[in-house]
Structure 1
Amino acid sequence: MADDKTKTDFRDRDRVSADEDYKVEYFATKAGITPQQVKELIAKYGNRRETLEREAKALGSGR
């Protein structure tokens, strides 16, 4: 089911949905990684934005 973009509350701001391509693309661009890497991080660590940002940063530094 697609997001209702008319709703502007903050219920899911701390999550990244792997099912919404535009959210994956935005996060990938912001983090400097590929969309595929974002999906792999979500599969491994879950969809909490804070965790994904930390892991994307570590991924970018060549851990």
Structure 2
Amino acid sequence: MADDKTKRGPADSSRINVNEDYEVAYWTEALGCTEEELQKAVKSAGTSAKAVREYLNK
């Protein structure tokens, strides 16, 4: 089944997919960070939303 790009939130709220613009937009707003900060956090902490939150709150 194809992703429904009209949905605002991520398909799996426990993972962050930085390859989808709508997910990047959602997560940058939800986490209060820039796209660059999100990219760096995912690269360092992995795609787990919990791990990225912890990384950004350091």
- When normalised by structure 1's length, the TM-score is 0.68
* Poorly superposed stretches of 4+, deviation over 2 Å: none
Equivalent residue letter for 1:5: D
Structure 1 gaps, min length 5 = 59-63
> Could you say what secondary structure the match of 2:47 adopts?
coil
In terms of Rg, which structure is larger? Answer: 1
- Scaled by the length of structure 2, the TM-score of the pair is 0.72
Deviations 1:13-60 (A, max 9, x none): 2100010121112111111110111011111111001101111222xx
Aligned length: 52
Q: Provide the identity percentage.
A: 21
- Which ranges in structure 2 are unaligned for 5 or more consecutive residues? 6-10
